[in-house]
Amino acid sequence: MKRLAALSQNFLRSPQLVKELLGHTNITHGDIVYDIGAGSGVVASALAPRVRSVVAVEIDPRLAEKLRSNLAHLDNVVVNNADFMTLPLSHTPYKVFANIPFSLSAQIVHRLTDAPYPPSAIYLIVQEQFARKLLPDNKGYTNQLAIMLGAEFAARVRRRLKPTDFYPRPNVPTVLLEIVKRTDPLIKKTNLPMFKQFVAGCFADPRKLFRSPLRDIGLSPVAAPSSLTLKQWVALFDLICREPQKQGMSLVEPTDQILNQIASPVAPPEFTSPHLRFIADRMLELAAGKGHDVKDSRQMVGLAAPQLGVSKRIIAIDVTATGTKQKQTLKILVNPTIVWKSKETVLGREGCWSCGNICGAVERAQKVRIEALDTAGKSVNILFTDFVARIAQHEIDHLDGIRFPDRITDSTKLHWVEPAEFERYRTHWQTWRRICPRATWDAMKIGKGDYLIRMTTSSSV
C-alpha cells in the first residue's frame, strides 16, 4: 500500500524481524499490548500468538480496513481506526510495542508516560537521534523529556535496525527503544508532578535553575539545564524539598577555596546568555542587602562574583561610597582591569565578608583607572578616587584569588574584630590593639581552623 508522507509511515517488511525484536523485550503471554500505527498488521500479527491480546490502533482509514482484513483470523486482536493521541487507554496493566510515525515520537512518549495508568513497558521503533535524547546521561547533554520521564521510567536502546528492514527505506538510523516503569521511582509518586514542573520550568527559563542551590550538589551555580544528569536533577530536587529556604548563588564561606582561585574572563558569547544577566542581578541584590538569609541581608559597597561561588571576572561597586553610611549607587563591571594607578597611596581600613572577623589596614593607590565592559559588552573607562578606588582594588583582587590580608605585610595591622565592635572599629582602626595572628588568617585561607563570621548591616570594606 502507498505510503502517506504526512503520517511519516515507514512500514516493517517482515513479521520474522518483529519476532526477533520481541526477543529483546519483557513481553509475555499474559500481556495486553498496544500496537500504535499498526499499518497493515506486520507487528500485530507477530504479537498475537505471543500475548493475551493486541490493541491495534491505526488512524489511516485505508490501512485500518486492510488491517481488519489481514487480522480477521486472529481472535485476540482488536482494531481501532482512531487517533492514538485521543484514544482512551486501558486502566488495567498493559504494554506497548509499536513502529510509530517518527514525527510523533515525542507526543506519543508524552501521552504514554503522562497517562493516569501508564504502561509498565514501552517498546518503540524510532529514530536513533530521538532515542538518544531520552537516555538520561547522554554524553554530557540531557534532554528535558529524558529527565522528566527518567524519574519514573528507565530508557535504553535495545537494538539497531537496518534501512532495508523498512519500506520505504528511512533516511535516518533507527533503533528499538525500551522505556520501562521503575519498580521504585527516583522521586516519590506524590512529588512527581512537582518534579516535572520544576524541570520544565528550568529548561524554559534557566534563571529558575540558577536560583537553586547548585553548588550544594557540587555543580556550577550557573550550570545549564542540559548539563545536569538525571542523578543530579534528583539530588537537587530532593535538597530543595528538604531545605526550601536554600538559595542559589549566595555568599560563600570564608574557607571556600573558590576565593583563592583566579576567576575566568567572561567570553563574548556570554553577554547574550541568561546566566550573565542573572549573575549581575544577583550581585546587585546581595550588595543592596536584599538577600533572604541573615548573611545575605547586609549592604555592601563592593562584591565580586567569586564571593557568590561564581568563578567569573565580574564585580559590583558602589561608585558613590565614602566610607560612611549613604545611599548606594551600584555599578557592575565585567572583566575589569586596572590600567593605571597613582603613585600616591593611602593607608585605610578594610574588612570583608570573605575574611570573617579579620579586618586590617591596607595600603592602596589613591586613584585608579579601570577599563572594563558593562553587561551589554560595551567598553567602560572610568577613573576612581579615594574610597571608591579602594573598593575597586579590593574587588579586583578577589578576581585574582587575593584577599586584603594578603596585601598586609605588617602583622600589627592585621586586626581581630568582634561583631559588636565593628562600628567602633570604623573610627578606631588606627589604634586597634587586638591583633589577629597571621597563622589564623593562613588557616582560614586554606579552609582550616576556627573562625567567626561578622554579622552586621554595615558595609564590607
Q: SS3 sequence, the chain?
A: CCCCHHHCCCEECCHHHHHHHHCCCCCCCCCEEEEECCCCCHHHHHHHHHCCEEEEECCCHHHHHHHHHHCCCCCCEEEECCCCCCCCCCCCCCEEEEECCHHHHHHHHHHHHCCCCCCCEEEEEEEHHHHHHCCCCECCECCHHHHHHHCCEEEEEEEEECHHHEECCCCCCEEEEEEEECCCCCCCHHHHHHHHHHHHHHHHCHHHHHCCCHHHHCCCCCCCHHHCCHHHHHHHHHHHHHCCCCCCCCCCCCCCHHHHCCCECCCHHHHHCHHHHHHHHHHHHHHECCCCCHHHCCECCEEEHHHHCCCECEEEEECCCCCCCCCCCEEEEEEEEEEEECCCEEEEEEECHHHCCEEEEEEEECEEEEEEECCCCCEEEEEEEHHHHHHHHHHHHHHCCCCHHHHCCCHHHEEECCHHHHHHHHHHHHHCCCECCHHHHHHHHCCCCCCCCCCCCCCCC
pLDDT band at 66 (very low <50, low <70, confident <90, very high): very high
CB atoms within 10 A of CB 89: 16
- What mean pLDDT is predicted for residues 213-241? 95
Average pLDDT of the residues in 366-373:
98
pLDDT of residue 458: 39
Task: Answer whether residue 326 shows pLDDT above 90.
Answer: no
Question: pLDDT at position 459, please?
Answer: 44
CA distance 132 to 127: 9
Please state the separation of Cα 221 from the chain's center in Å: 8
pLDDT tens, 98-142? 999 999 999 999 999 999 999 999 999 999 999 998 987 666 677
Q: Among all residues, which ones are annotated catalytic?
A: 395
Tell me where in the chain the CATH 3.90.45.10 domain(s) lie. Answer: 257-445
pLDDT of residue 243 exceeding 90: yes
- Record: fold of 5-185: Rossmann fold (3.40.50)
| pLDDT at 202 (0 to 100) | 96
Q: Give the tens place of pLDDT for each residue, 254-296.
A: 999 999 999 999 999 999 999 999 999 999 999 988 765 655 5
Instruction: Report whether pLDDT(304) > 60.
Output: yes
List, edge to edge, every strand of the sheet that includes 379-385: 302-304, 314-318, 330-341, 367-373, 379-385
Q: At what angle do helices 192-204 and 230-242 cross, to 10 degrees?
A: 110
Grid cell digits, residue 294: 541573615
Residue whose C-alpha cell reads 487480522 in the numeric block: 71
Average pLDDT on 37-60 reads 95
Predicted local distance difference test score (pLDDT) of residue 10:
82
| Residue 456: pLDDT band with limits 50, 70, 90 | very low
Identify the pLDDT of residue 5.
Answer: 45
- pLDDT > 50? residue 414: yes
Cα distance from N-terminal residue to C-terminal residue, the chain: 79
pLDDT in tens, 192-223: 999 999 999 999 999 999 999 999 999 999 99
Which amino acid appears at position 391 of this protein?
I
Residue 2 has pLDDT above 90, yes or no: no
The CATH architecture of the domain made up of 257-445 is Alpha-Beta Complex (3.90)
* Predicted local confidence at residue 447, as pLDDT: 85
Question: Which amino acid appears at position 417 of this protein?
Answer: V
For residue 349, the tally of other CB atoms under 10 A from its CB is 22
The pLDDT value recorded for residue 299 is 83
Instruction: Retrieve residue 269's grid coordinates.
Output: 558569547
Whether residue 333 contacts residue 372, with contact meaning beta carbons closer than 8 Å, is answered with yes
Residues carrying CATH 3.40.50.150, the chain = 5-185
* pLDDT for residue 6: 45
Q: Average per-residue pLDDT in the chain?
A: 91
